Structure 1
Amino acid sequence: MTTLSGTTIIMSGGSRGIGLAIAVRAARDGANVALIAKTDQPDPRLAGTIHTAAAAIEAAGGHALPIVGDVRDDELLAAAVEKTAAQFGGIDVVVNNASVLNLSPTAQLEPKRYDLMQDINVRGTFMLTRAAIPHLLASPDPKVLTLSPPINLDPRWFAGHPAYTMAKYGMTLAALGFAHELGQKGVSSTCLWPATLVATDAIGNLPGGDQMVKVSRKPEIVADAAYEVLTTDGQGLNGQTLIDEDLLRARGVADFAAYSMTGKDEGLAPDIFL
């Protein structure tokens, strides 16, 4: 594909940040985007709701279907998939974007916080994709895009926050599983991860978040890389764990200054797991 016009995407999360940037980029082509997210009402700690996200998608030229709900709810996922397919005539793309960030060491991590990360990051990725399989198999060029990192077994990623590392690597393992299992049936499954920190509420709300945002890139860099993945024909990127900057450079992008929060492509903080 060279355009996402007429493509139907179902995404977990997407009220803000990277997910919203991906949705708006797709909407500029005229894509249909269904969002499954919990933020129904404004939260002082978070920018935007699922409804403001839907408005941004429509304003960009796409068609939005906001679905208020939790990816931990299997019945809701099944209903969301069927509602999306009924409204737009099918589903072509699943974007596994919803994720919980908690960098607590083991002794300080409450069991409910551990469960939340596993349930949203890993189980949510698996179950949303699972629910969409019948519609993906009916698509002429189905894609699954998961926002998760390459598997890096350097001990430093386990020493500080093993639970978060397990949750993000679990998403990647699920995506690689889809690549090998569903790839035989024509579905292309790819992981995408940023080269640097990205200015999102998840980063900004951490201790020292203001400073971290200053050395971050904008979510649009991940959105542009996601667009490259979703417009790559067939299974050319199936089973790959890609870094946004590397992919964009391979596709001819040379100037990254516009993606920086400061307008300068220097002094940026690398993202974790790299």
Structure 2
Amino acid sequence: MSQETKRVALVTGSTGGIGRAVAERLARDAFAVGVHYAGDRAGAEEIAAGITAAGGEAITVRGDVADEKAMADAFDAVEREFGGIDVVVNTAGIMLLAPIATLDLDDLDRMHRTNIRGTFVVSQQAARRLRDGGAIINFSTSVTRTQFPTYGAYTASKAAVEAMTLVLARELRGRDITVNAVAPGPTATPLFLRGKNTTEIEGLAKAAPLERLGTPADIAESVAFLAGPARWVNGQVLFTNGGLA
């Protein structure tokens, strides 16, 4: 790819805590960014406006990540605006916690649809469309290692994400496209903090040797590494958790 070719990223779930940090971080690395959202249009437009005000380029695109037609349309919109796509970061996901013995199976199905089917749909579009030299970055969780109680269903969905990520890396042989997953540890986002009391949050913050929660910016740095200079990192799960596990 020539130096003049604009690098373009599509970030799903951009209105979430990590998604926003990723979109803004890639924009600082001179990526034109497709700011994807499912329901929070105002939030997505605010993020895109902030990127533009800082001298970058961004558009908003909408769609349910598990709906293949909606995501094909989102990819189309980014390609029309910027000429192609180089990096796809799939941060979209939901987390519903309960012991396996009592989990509502409707919650299991909701997580399956967004976290597994959604990641598959987005990865499928990315595999078909990314320019050579690109990167696909999915999201897992460090709880696949820590095995915290109540995370069984959520972790099962993320283990599936890891599996498809590692297989896709090998299926794209010859395209110079890297496929990796980032597995955050406890990170101070609304998704993580919801439903936890102060004692639980403090305990999780002390669990890592660095004795703090991660921040969305910490996670975005790992994404920027995989999206840019990390061309020899492929088919891996990068545990970004302060040494938790």
**Do Structure 1 and Structure 2 share a fold, with TM-score over 0.5?**
yes
Q: Distance in 1 between matches of 2:142 and 2:235?
A: 11
Equivalent residue for 2:183? 193
Q: Structure 1 residue 241: deviation in Å?
A: 1.1
Q: Structure 1 residue 106: deviation in Å?
A: 2.4
Does structure 1 retain, via aligned residues, the 8 Å contact 2:183–2:238? yes
- Among 225, 231, 238, the alignment partner of 2:234 is 238
Alpha carbons of 1:97 and 1:150: their partners in 2 closer, same or farther (altered >3 Å)? same
Matched, 1:217 2:214: yes
Equivalent residue for 2:78? 84
Matched, 1:206 2:203: no
Does structure 1 retain, via aligned residues, the 8 Å contact 2:17–2:190? yes
Q: Distance in 2 between matches of 1:18 and 1:212?
A: 18
Does structure 2 retain, via aligned residues, the 8 Å contact 1:77–1:128? yes
Q: Distance in 2 between matches of 1:72 and 1:152?
A: 23
**Residue by residue, what CA displacement relative to the aligned partner does 1:100-121 show, whole Å, maximum 9, x if unpaired?**
1112122332222111111111
Q: Structure 1 residue 240: deviation in Å?
A: 1.2
**Residue by residue, what CA displacement relative to the aligned partner does 1:232-272 show, whole Å, maximum 9, x if unpaired?**
253x01011112368xxxxxxxxxxxxxxxxxxxxxx94xx
Q: TM-score by structure 1 length? A: 0.76
Does structure 2 retain, via aligned residues, the 8 Å contact 1:30–1:61? no
- Among 145, 160, 176, the alignment partner of 2:137 is 145
- Structure 1 unaligned segments of length 5 or more: list them: 43-48, 247-268
Q: Structure 1 residue 150: deviation in Å?
A: 6.4
Equivalent residue for 2:39? 39
Which sits farther off after the overlay, 159-168 or 170-179? Answer: 159-168
3-state DSSP of counterpart to 1:72 = coil
**Residue by residue, what CA displacement relative to the aligned partner does 1:30-77 show, whole Å, maximum 9, x if unpaired?**
2111122123366xxxxxx22222223223432112112211221101
Does structure 1 retain, via aligned residues, the 8 Å contact 2:126–2:136? no
**Residue by residue, what CA displacement relative to the aligned partner does 1:217-237 show, whole Å, maximum 9, x if unpaired?**
221111112111111253x01
Q: Distance in 1 between matches of 2:56 and 2:200?
A: 34
Q: Distance in 2 between matches of 1:151 and 1:211?
A: 15
Equivalent residue for 1:266? none
Query: Identity across aligned pairs (percent)?
Result: 29
Amino acid across the alignment from 1:237: V
- Among 101, 105, 126, the alignment partner of 1:107 is 101
Does structure 2 retain, via aligned residues, the 8 Å contact 1:8–1:88? yes
Q: Distance in 1 between matches of 2:7 and 2:69?
A: 24
Q: TM-score by structure 2 length? A: 0.85
Which sits farther off after the overlay, 68-77 or 90-99? Answer: 68-77
- CA-atom RMSD in angstroms: 2.7
- Structure 2 unaligned segments of length 5 or more: list them: 206-211
Alpha carbons of 1:149 and 1:176: their partners in 2 closer, same or farther (altered >3 Å)? farther
Misfit runs of 4+, over 3 Å: 149-154
Matched, 1:61 2:55: yes
- Among 118, 123, 135, the alignment partner of 1:129 is 123
Q: Distance in 2 between matches of 1:57 and 1:35?
A: 10
**Residue by residue, what CA displacement relative to the aligned partner does 1:70-103 show, whole Å, maximum 9, x if unpaired?**
1122110111111111111011011111111112
3-state DSSP of counterpart to 1:108 = coil
